Amino acid sequence: MPEIIQVIVGGLLIGGMFSFIAIGLNVVFGVMEIVNFAHGSIVMLGMYFAYWLSVLFHVDPYIAIFLGVPVFFIFGVCVQKILINRVLNAPPINQFLLTLGLMLFLDNLALLLWKPDYRTIKMSYTASVINIGGIDISITRLVAFGIMLASVTILQQFLTKTYLGKAIRATADDREGASLVGINVPRVYLFTFGLSSALAGIAGIAIIPFFYVFPYVGVHFVITAYIVVVLGGLGRFTGALIGGLIIGASESLAGLYLYGSLKMVVPLVIFIGVLLFRPSGIFAGK
């Protein structure tokens, strides 16, 4: 039983990062109805951002978060203005191919610049743990989980308390209605994609102290994030948060009984089951 509890706790902490990545995806889909396959690649860039700041300038990755937010927000705004804006009214297949092409471009650019080597950061606190009731909890994973909760709380308050946040929610509910009451929808789209990219960058920076980075690591993250998104319901923040915890815990428990990559079978079975019996997501309304 202690071993099972230990595995579940570890899975929940990892699941929190899956939730974090999925929430960034849901922001774009909920407002713009675009499935952004390049989201995982932006997480990868966030990991490299923190890695090189640490290696070259000895900047702690958690300090790098404050530097990364404006950098990745501006990056997202540029991507939306230059690329995404051109396919907003195009058929979904055009949007899919554009974001898929962007993913391939970013991944191969990273491969060209930084080679296929696996890299990670070794900090003084990397292997530190705290023991609570006989359960060892990784400090870095716990801090990353706390960053996720803080970011989600700030995002929720921003969307419900500020004028811009309310404008984003109104645009998500009815684009034409929002435009008719004076909301600048193109500007909302710019901010939304920038916000999503900033969340992806924060997630990548928070992960790097305990996870390796290589050019194609984003593919794993985006696949898992889409499982979480489908599980929780497209466009639903709370669903993404709970869905990520479920996937993280189930994958970790599967690792106790299945060998190697076979542990991914359980999340995929959950994913297929949701698609078959509850395609709108477990936490979606009627």
Dig out the tokens for 95 from the structure: 């949007």
Q: For residue 280, is it within any domain?
A: no
| CA distance from start to end of the chain | 38
Mean pLDDT of 38-67: 95
Angstrom distance (rounded) from CA 11 to CA 124: 23
Domain that holds residue 46: 19-218
**pTM, whole model, 2 decimals?**
0.93
Q: For residue 245, is it within any domain?
A: no
Q: For residue 180, is it within any domain?
A: yes
Q: On the CB side of 74, how many CA atoms lie within 13 Å of its CA?
A: 4
Dig out the tokens for 235 from the structure: 């466009």
Q: For residue 158, is it within any domain?
A: yes
The mean-pLDDT minimum among 18-22, 137-141, 185-189, 280-284 falls in 280-284
Angstrom distance (rounded) from CA 194 to CA 84: 12
C-alpha of 122 from chain center:
23
Q: For residue 170, is it within any domain?
A: yes
Long-range contacts, 31-36 (Cβ 8 Å, 24+): 31/168, 31/171, 31/172, 31/188, 31/189, 31/192, 32/84, 32/88, 32/189, 32/192, 32/193, 34/84, 34/88, 34/95, 34/99, 35/92, 35/95, 35/96, 35/99, 36/99, 36/196
Q: For residue 81, is it within any domain?
A: yes
The mean-pLDDT minimum among 86-100, 116-130, 223-237 falls in 223-237
Q: For residue 25, is it within any domain?
A: yes
| Per-residue pLDDT tens over the stretch 66-114 | 999 999 999 999 999 999 999 988 898 999 999 999 999 999 999 999 9
Q: What percent of the chain has pLDDT over 90?
A: 61
Dig out the tokens for 232 from the structure: 């929780």
Angstrom distance (rounded) from CA 183 to CA 171: 8
The amino acid at 203: A
Provide the number of structural domains found in the chain: 1
Mean pLDDT of 11-19: 92
> Residue holding tokens 């610049």?
113
| Per-residue pLDDT tens over the stretch 126-159 | 888 998 888 889 999 999 999 999 999 999 999 9
Angle of helix 2-32 relative to helix 139-161, nearest 10 degrees? 30
Q: For residue 260, is it within any domain?
A: no
Measured CA distances, 243 to 47, 134, 161, 199, 226 (Å): 23, 27, 25, 18, 10
